[in-house]
Structure formats: C-alpha cells, structure tokens
Amino acid sequence: MQVEAKTTGLKTENLKDHSLAALRERFARDGIARYHADQVAGWLYQRGVEDPRHMTDLSMDLREQLAGSWISSALEVAGHARSVDGTLKLLLRAHDGAVVEAVLIPEEQRTTLCVSTQVGCPLACSFCATGALGFTRNLSTAEIVDQLCRAREFLAPDQRISNVVFMGMGEPLLNLPAVSEAIRLLVDPKAFAMAPRRITVSTSGVVPKIRPLLELAPVNLAVSLHATTNAVRDELVPLNRRFPLEQLLGALRDEEQVNRRRPVFFEYTLIEGVNDTPGDARRLVGLLRGIPSKVNAIPMNAHPDSGYRAPKLEVMERFTAIVHEAGLRVTLRKNRGDDIDAACGQLAARGGRGESEEPGPRSLSGGPLEPGGRVVKSQG
Ligand code: SAH
Ligand code: SF4
C-alpha cells in the first residue's frame, strides 16, 4: 500500500498517534464531535481502512476535513522474508526512511507479532544485534501500532494476531509514553480489542519505569536477566551498571502487580562459557526466590556482531533441569526464524537471506500454519 508523502505543511498529525480518549479530546479541540473518534478508530483498527475518504459513516465534509489535515499510516512494507518454520519477518519503512522490523510468528494455537519500539537501541547489550546498531530514535505510537496494521495484511482471512510481544528492536521502557499509548489502543475494545494478558512487554531492566507500565494495564512483564552475577550482567547488559541485579530484583519482589497469576517472565539467553554452568542455574534459583516467575531460557542466536554462541543442547538441558528441580517453571525455547535472522536479538534491519524486495502483502498460505515446535523442552 502507498504511504503518504513525508509529513510537511499542515498534515503533520497522525490519527494513530492517539489513544481513543486522546483522539476524542483532540477532535473536540477542532470542533469535531467526540464520538467521531470512535467511528474513526473502528475504521482504522477493526476494519483496516486508513483513508478517511472511505470512512462512509462520516459526513462528506468531515471525511474531507480529516483527509486534508491528518495522515493515517506511518509505515510501509519495504521487504519481507519467510522462514521455513512459517515465521515472517517484515521490514517496515517510516516516512523519514528509518527501517524497523516486526516478526509474525504463527503457531497452532496463536499468532504472535513481535514489535519494535525504537530504531536501534541505546543500551548496547553485547550479545544483541540491535544493540550493535546504536540508537537512531524512538518510534511514535502510530509507528508501533502500524506494525500490526501492516502485518495483518499478510494473514489469511481466518487468521488474526492473537498476541503481541514488545520484543523487537529497542527498549520499550525507554519509550514509555509512545508504548503506553500503543498499549491503550491494543486493549481498547473499540480499537484492537486485545486482552492485556495477550500482550507482553520485555525490558532489560529500566527499573523506575516498571511500575508505571504495570499500572497502565495488566500486561505481562518480561525481564531480560541473562546473568546471575553483576560482573557477568555488567558485560552482557550494560544497563546493569545503573540498575544492578539487587535493585532490579528488589523492585520486582516489592511489586504488588506481580503475583502468581501475573508472574514475571525472566528471559535468560544461554551463552556458551558465559552464563551456562550448574552454578549459574543454582544462583538463578536463589535470586528469583520470592518473585512469582517463569524462566524462558533462550539459546544464544549467533550473529556477525558478536562472538557468542549457544551452549550444546545437553548443557542447556542440564541448566533448565536444575532450575526445574528447584521448583521453578522453566522452558527452553527453540529459535524460530533463525534462517531469516528473525530470531530474538537478530533484528538489525539489514535484511535476511532470501529477502523479497517486493513490497506487498501475500497470504501466508491456505490452511493452518505449521505448528510451533517452539518449545523443545517444556517443564512445569
Ligand atoms: N530491549 C528489550 C526487548 C527486546 S530484545 C529487552 O532487552 O528485553 C528481546 C529479547 O531477546 C531480550 O530478552 C533480549 O535480551 C534477547 N536477545 C537479544 N539478543 C539475543 C541473541 N543474540 N540471542 C538470544 N536472545 C537475544
Ligand atoms: Fe536493546 Fe534489548 Fe538489544 Fe539490549 S537486548 S540492546 S535492551 S534491544
């Protein structure tokens, strides 16, 4: 689909930059009745119609007024690549030329979209391809929700995005205002109408922003832990020097919004010779004591920007077995989309192998998509 020209002149505001409550207020300031915001949201988010001229339950005058002074899309598809396992990576270009990635992961029971929140990332984790890019800018709310709008154009008519994970490029909690407004749209019954528990926000540990996020909506929180000592975590996640383990875990332990029904998902990327010993597993169990949690162990995805690699399978299984035997819920994730650089931490907007430069949606196939195979070993 065509994206309007760069935002210049009067047309500077994007309809998708506002939650419904904010759009109602914004319309009221322009002398437009508030309920028209609800109608517009229905077209944008439920019916996928972006051109106000086609919003047929609005008056002709209002359609022209909106088309003349607002833009309504933020990203265009610049390329896509599909993995043998069905994972689809989208390269999406913003009006200023910035490119971000979103990854659509079809599984038997659900279809998950992994969204980006920043162009690059300022936190420079040593094992992450996005971190190696450096930081360009935050994404706007419109650019975050447009990842859903573009991705769903690739789905078959009977498919829908059931889950959203904020685990693409960037650190969501360093862009909380735009992320919050996007979450409001995701959960609004008049916009994307998703249940908050189907949304997961991953952070590398921006401690002061965790409570504001959890108070916004009962979404899931994932915390990228990756290490059990400050010395190792300082190396892997430099943000640890600002918010060390005891501060991060202390904040989570004190957090009222975290409970057994709403545990923290701890991401633990297993890296050979760095954080994969039985001692690490035992320290992890000790650190998480008192915090309702689930541990997601993820094999390190190798990429050219780091020399790290995943441990052998038996080493990873020994690690998860120790954690499991101590009574914690733990899964060892199998990487999806590895062949197209769409797995965790491989998102660097440089295009995967087999990339199509042809823009434009294409149905992902007729029947149900390949079942996951995501979890190679699930415990608890
Ligand atoms: N910035 C946020 C969210 C995006 S990263 C965060 O760091 O939590 C999504 C997940 O992928 C994080 O847990 C991150 O640590 C992990 N990750 C990054 N690079 C990886 C790699 N090369 N292999 C495996 N996981 C990686
Ligand atoms: Fe940023 Fe997350 Fe990558 Fe760290 S792991 S550099 S916080 S995207």
Distance of CA 21 to the CA centre of its chain: 23
Q: What is the pLDDT of residue 147?
A: 98
Instruction: Count the Cβ atoms, other than its own, within 10 Å of residue 354.
Output: 11
Ligand 1 center to 17 CA (angstroms): 26
**125 C-beta closer than 6 A to ligand 2:** yes
Q: What is the pLDDT of residue 345?
A: 64
The whole-angstrom separation of Cα 122 and Cα 345 is 14
pLDDT in tens, 7-32: 444 567 999 999 999 999 999 999 99
Question: Where are the alpha helices (H) located in 108-229, listed in sequence order?
Answer: 129-133, 141-152, 176-187, 210-216
On whether the CB atoms of residues 281 and 322 are closer than 8 A, the answer is yes
Ligand 2 center to 114 CA (angstroms): 14
Residue of 238, 278, 274, 267 lying closest to 335 (CA atoms): 267
Q: Which of 173, 224, 225 to mutate to test the pocket of ligand 1 (most atoms within 8 A of CB)?
A: 224
Ligand 1 center to 14 CA (angstroms): 30
Give percent of the chain above pLDDT 90. 81
Measured from the Cα of 129, ligand 2's closest atom is: 3
On whether the CB atoms of residues 73 and 50 are closer than 8 A, the answer is yes
Residue 1 CB burial class (10 angstroms; 0-12, 13-18, ≥19): middle
Considering only 35-39, 106-110, 239-243, 276-280, which range has the smallest mean pLDDT?
A: 106-110
Token readout for 227 is 């290490």
Would you list the domain boundaries of the chain? 16-71, 76-373
DSSP state of 262: B
Query: Phi first, then psi: what are they for 16, rounded to 5°?
Result: -85, 0
pTM, 2 dp: 0.90
Q: Is the pLDDT of residue 327 over 90?
A: yes
Q: Is the dihedral of CA 174, 286, 230, 378 positive or negative?
A: negative
Q: What is the pLDDT of residue 306?
A: 87
**Same CATH fold assignment for domains 16-71 and 76-373:** no
Q: Whose CA is nearest to atom 20 of ligand 1?
A: 345
The whole-angstrom separation of Cα 50 and Cα 69 is 14
Q: Whose CA is nearest to atom 8 of ligand 2?
A: 170
Ligand 1 center to 10 CA (angstroms): 39
pLDDT in tens, 239-288: 999 999 999 999 999 999 999 999 999 999 999 999 999 999 999 999 99
Instruction: Please give the CATH architecture assigned to the domain spanning 76-373.
Output: Alpha-Beta Barrel (3.20)
Residue of 39, 32, 34, 35 lying closest to 54 (CA atoms): 39
Q: Whose CA is nearest to atom 4 of ligand 2?
A: 125
Ligand 1 center to 259 CA (angstroms): 24
For residue 332, the one-letter residue type is L
Q: Is the pLDDT of residue 372 over 60?
A: no
On whether the CB atoms of residues 150 and 92 are closer than 8 A, the answer is yes
Query: pLDDT-derived band of residue 346, with 50, 70 and 90 as boundaries?
Result: low
CATH 1.10.150.530 at 16-71, yes or no = yes
Ligand found nearest the CA of 202: 1
Q: Is the pLDDT of residue 322 over 70?
A: yes
Ligand 1: which residues within 6 Å by Cβ? 127-128, 167, 171, 202-204, 224, 267, 269, 298, 300-301, 303, 344-345
Token readout for 135 is 């930081």
Q: What is the pLDDT of residue 223?
A: 98
pLDDT in tens, 193-210: 999 999 999 999 999 999
Measured from the Cα of 118, ligand 2's closest atom is: 8
Residues marked active site are found at 101, 344
